[in-house]
C-alpha cells in the first residue's frame, strides 16, 4: 500500500512539473502580436472587406479595389514581427503611457527595434512596428502600421551594397 501511494505521489509531482513547464512556454513576455493578428486575419477572412490597395515602387503608384483572398498571408510581415520569440526573451524594455504600450530593443541581433500598441479602452486601436536589418552587404528599414478596420501600411527602404536605394510602400484602406 505504501509503495502504491509513493508511486501515485511521484506521478502527481511529475505531472505538475510538466504542466508548469507548459504554462511557462505559453506565457507571453510581451504583447501577443502573433495571436492578435491571427485572430484579426480570421475575422477579416470571414468579413471579406473591400480594400483600396495602393502599391508604390520607384515613385510609380497603382491602386486597385480588391478582396483579399488570404488575410493571414496579407498580414504575414506583421505576424513575423512578433517579439515573443524565445531567443529574444529579455531583449525588450517596455513602457506604458497614455494608452500605448511601447517595446524597444537595442540588441543588434534582434531586427524588431520597436513595437507600439495603442489602446482605446481594452481594444487595440493601432499597431506600429519598426524593423531594421543590417549586415555587410544589405540594409533595410521597415515601418509597419495596422489600424483595425481602417488601414494597414508597409513601408520599406532597402539598400544593397553598390546598388541604388529602393523604396516601396503598400497601403490597404478599408472601405
Does the residue 44 lie in any domain? yes
Please state, rounded to an integer, the average pLDDT across all residues of the chain: 88
Would 122 be classed as within a structural domain? Answer: yes
Q: Which domain holds residue 118?
A: 30-174
Q: Are 128 and 136 in contact (CB under 8 A)?
A: no
* Confidence tier at 51 by pLDDT (50, 70, 90): very high
CA dihedral 6, 9, 11, 13 (to 10 degrees): -140
Q: Could you tell me if residue 113 is inside a domain? A: yes
As a whole number of angstroms, the distance between CA 146 and CA 150 comes to: 8
84 within some domain: yes
pTM above 0.85, yes or no: no
Minimal CA–CA distance to 131: which of 79, 90, 95?
79
Is residue 19 over pLDDT 50? Answer: no
Average pLDDT in the 132-158 region? 95
pLDDT tens, 68-126?
999 999 999 999 999 999 999 999 999 999 999 999 999 999 999 999 999 999 999 99
16 domain residue, yes or no? no
Within a domain: residue 8?
no
- Supply the pLDDT for residue 27: 77
Total number of domains constituting the chain: 1
In a domain, 18, yes or no: no
Q: For residues 139 and 130, what is the distance between their CA atoms, to the nearest angstrom? A: 14
Residue 106 located in a structural domain: yes
Amino acid at each position: 500500500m505504501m509503495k502504491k501511494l509513493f508511486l501515485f505521489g511521484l506521478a502527481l509531482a511529475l505531472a505538475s512539473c510538466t504542466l508548469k513547464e507548459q504554462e511557462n512556454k505559453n506565457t507571453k513576455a510581451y504583447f501577443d502580436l502573433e495571436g492578435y493578428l491571427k485572430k484579426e486575419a480570421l475575422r477579416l477572412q470571414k468579413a471579406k472587406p473591400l480594400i483600396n490597395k495602393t502599391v508604390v515602387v520607384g515613385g510609380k503608384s497603382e491602386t486597385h479595389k480588391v478582396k483579399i483572398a488570404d488575410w493571414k498571408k496579407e498580414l504575414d510581415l506583421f505576424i513575423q514581427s512578433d517579439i515573443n520569440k524565445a531567443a529574444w526573451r529579455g531583449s525588450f524594455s517596455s513602457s506604458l503611457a497614455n494608452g500605448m504600450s511601447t517595446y524597444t530593443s537595442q540588441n543588434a541581433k534582434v531586427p524588431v527595434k520597436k513595437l507600439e500598441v495603442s489602446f482605446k479602452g481594452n481594444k487595440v486601436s493601432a499597431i506600429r512596428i519598426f524593423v531594421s536589418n543590417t549586415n555587410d552587404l544589405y540594409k533595410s528599414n521597415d515601418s509597419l502600421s495596422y489600424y483595425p478596420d481602417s488601414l494597414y501600411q508597409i513601408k520599406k527602404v532597402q539598400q544593397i551594397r553598390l546598388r541604388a536605394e529602393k523604396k516601396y510602400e503598400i497601403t490597404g484602406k478599408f472601405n
